[in-house]
Amino acid sequence: MNIFSSADPAERLLASVQPEAAKIPAHIHTDPEIYRLEMKRVFGRVWLFVAHESEIPERGNWVVRDMGEQNVIVSRGEDGQLRVFLNSCRHRGMKLACEDRGTGKSWRCPYHGFTYNNSGNFVGAPYQREAYPEGIDREGLQLIEARCESYAGLVFATFNANAEPLDDFLGELRWYLDILVGRAEFEVVGVPQRWIVPTAWKLPAENFASDAYHTVTTHAFLAKLGLVKGVDFGKIGYHVVPAGGHGLGIGTQEEGPWYPAELRAEYESRLSLDQLALMDRIKNFHGNVFPNMSFLIPNVIEIAGKRVTGMTIRQWQPIAPDQIQALSWHLVEKNAPDWWKELGRKTYVQTFGSSGMFEQDDTENWELQTRNSLSSLSFDEPVLLDYRMGMGGVPMTDFAGPGEVYEGKYSEAAARGFYRRWLDLMLAEK
Amino acid sequence: MTAVSQRVGVPLETRLAVEDFLVDEALLLDDRRFDEWFELFTDDLVYQAPVRVTAKRGHEEIVDTIFHFDESKQSLGLRVRRLGTDVAWAEDPPSVTRHYVSNVRVTQADAPGELVVRAYVLLYRSRGDRGLHDMISYVRWDVLRPSGSSFQIARRRAVLDQAVLGTKNLAIFL
């Protein structure tokens, strides 16, 4: 079978991507036609993370982000409502906002001066009466707007009018997002770090969704430096496969709550008893919101007698089949004591993000996987990669949270779930 | 050019000593003598690289609440120790680096004897088999404290010249 002889990229996928048989071909990461198709069928159809509400707290605040290939403005209007607009003037398609963020009631196109308020309405153009003596079609000049909904402070958007409500899209994952970012009022510290990584976007997404096993080898330095007791710090806990292609892993410890006691009351007011009980046992917590938003509470480590970690969310923003822009936000509980904020920020910078000691090694893997994915395109047969870990595992029946949950973190079930959702979207013409 | 007219000169020999120090520091980094390099920093070190954003003229371009590096002597030491293990994959095989230090301006700091040193750095980084390299440009403010016949670095602030970094990680030192 020469799968690459088919002119139809969807046919090539159907013939080679087999999540339930635990076989995923390497070429799907970098085939330019598959990339074109997933920009439409994945990024064009599902909810995409665009911002945290704390980044635009005041009326008039806005930030510029990307949704797949669309550059958008995420704005809090004069009425306090969050809206997401294509960053493109209705006159000639020029960018309205050329900076990363700002505050104001309107955007004025640098090309011809068409101006829009932050509800997306056209409000005027220079010499309007002379240029358009017959009148101007204000309604037709409304900015192109995406649907925008939030969950626990996370702002998502989609240009798909037929997408299910965000709550349904997140589904079973919400129980876990409550723990991650719903447990307290969170704020983004500063702005996201951004950098270019020569990787296909699915590799980091899959890694955060499903891969606790790599920590033994990729991040072996942690044990070598004595920051954890053994290299198997990523083994004990749960592997979670919520419906919808999302995935997460929860590392656990039994030494009790690891966060400042001052935050306990706020957590109690926002979490169920089951969620709180799990919260107290967290050692690390990682996952991916399908398709490309990941989150992480890095392995809690002890520094100067204090247990610390530095939470992060990120977006793996595709910019080419073999390249992403990584956006990495650090978040902290708004009402946390100063020492927790300070140590959390330092720990985040040291472990993850652009210079993070963990992240460095991850980027190395993703880059070289991407290179081999590119080379696999020149074979007649697909290069099938093995995703069998945890096949035949029996889900727990006594776990409090929703989704398929497996005891122990070494599994690839969430990766199989990720590729199943991806394949379903890629094969669906509507 | 306010900054230039306000420049408080230092003796020529001080400036030469500072430039020698910076060149020696770059040599230790580029020769990967990280343990010796680490000794150049004071125990109360603050080593930070804030994050740049693309902003309109007149608006803040540097965000000083989040960083690419946010180090104390202790945390910088951890990074150095990590490079000494046999599992620091991101830098093993290591990048070939060359820190080009130029445009050095030396002024007196507020604390007696301390110097503020502003310099441009062009960091060439090459790794892998594609004949490619990254050019990482930044401006550096150091506070140097006299130590014996030379100096130690008590503060380092490195402001990278990209809002979106074009290098895959900062597994190297600025």
pLDDT digits (tens, 9 = 90+) for A193-216: 999 999 999 999 999 999 999 998
pLDDT (0 to 100) of residue B131: 87
A contact residues 18-77, partner B, Cβ 8 Å cutoff: none
Mean pLDDT of chain A: 95
Alpha helices by DSSP H, listed for chain B, are 2-5, 12-30, 34-38, 73-83
Q: What is the DSSP letter of B127?
A: -
From chain A, pick out residues whose CB is under 8 angstroms from the CB of B136. none
The pLDDT, as a whole number, for residue B8 is: 61
> Which of the four pLDDT bands, split at 50, 70 and 90, describes residue B1?
very low
Q: Select the more confidently predicted residue: A230 or A68.
A: A68
The first and second tokens of residue A209, run together, are 């969704």
pLDDT of res. B2: 44
Helices and strands in chain A, H and E counts: 13, 23
The CA–CA distances, whole Å, from A324 to A97, A234, A292, B164 equal: 22, 26, 11, 11
Question: Which conformational region is residue B124 in: left (phi greater than 0), alpha (psi within -120 to 50 degrees), or beta?
Answer: beta
How near does any CA of chain B get to the CA of A34, in Å?
Answer: 24
Average pLDDT over residues A301-325: 92
pLDDT over 50 (residue B172): yes
Q: What is the mean pLDDT of residues B34-59?
A: 97
Q: Are A235 and A409 in contact (CB under 8 A)?
A: yes
Pairwise CB contact (< 8 Å): A225 & B85: yes
Set of chain B residues whose Cβ sits within 8 Å of the Cβ of A196: 164-168
ipTM: 0.94
A150, A163, A166 from A155: Cα distances, Å: 4, 15, 10
C-beta atoms of A193 and B168 within 8 A: no
Q: Quote the pLDDT of residue A2.
A: 67
What pLDDT, in 10s, does the model give residues A136-182?
Answer: 999 999 999 999 999 999 999 999 999 999 999 999 999 999 999 99
Size of interface A-B (CB pairs under 8 A): 114
| pLDDT at B5 (0 to 100) | 45
CB A91 within 8 A of CB A108: no
Do A353 and B68 count as a contact with CB atoms less than 8 A apart?
Answer: yes
CA torsion A413-A416-A417-A418 (nearest 10°) is 120
For the segment A257-268, the average pLDDT, to the nearest whole number, is 96
Query: Measured between CB atoms, does A177 come within 8 Å of chain B?
Result: no
pLDDT given for residue B143 in this prediction: 98
Is the confidence at residue A359, as pLDDT, over 70? yes
Contact at CB, A194 and B163, closer than 8 angstroms = yes
Question: Do A357 and B79 make contact, defined as CB atoms within 8 angstroms?
Answer: yes
Q: Where are the alpha helices (DSSP H) in A213-286?
A: 215-218, 221-224, 264-270, 273-281
Contact state of B169 with A363 under an 8 Å Cβ cutoff: yes
Residue to test with chain B: of A64, A98, A195, A301, most B Cβ within 10 A:
A195
> Do the Cβ atoms of A221 and B88 come within 8 Å?
yes
For A350, which of B49, B64, B78 is closest by C-beta distance?
Answer: B78
Q: What is the pLDDT of residue A302?
A: 81
Distance of CA B74 to the CA centre of its chain: 17
Poorest-pLDDT segment among A7-11, A181-185, A296-300, B53-57: A7-11
Of A218 and A228, the structure prediction assigns the larger pLDDT to: A218
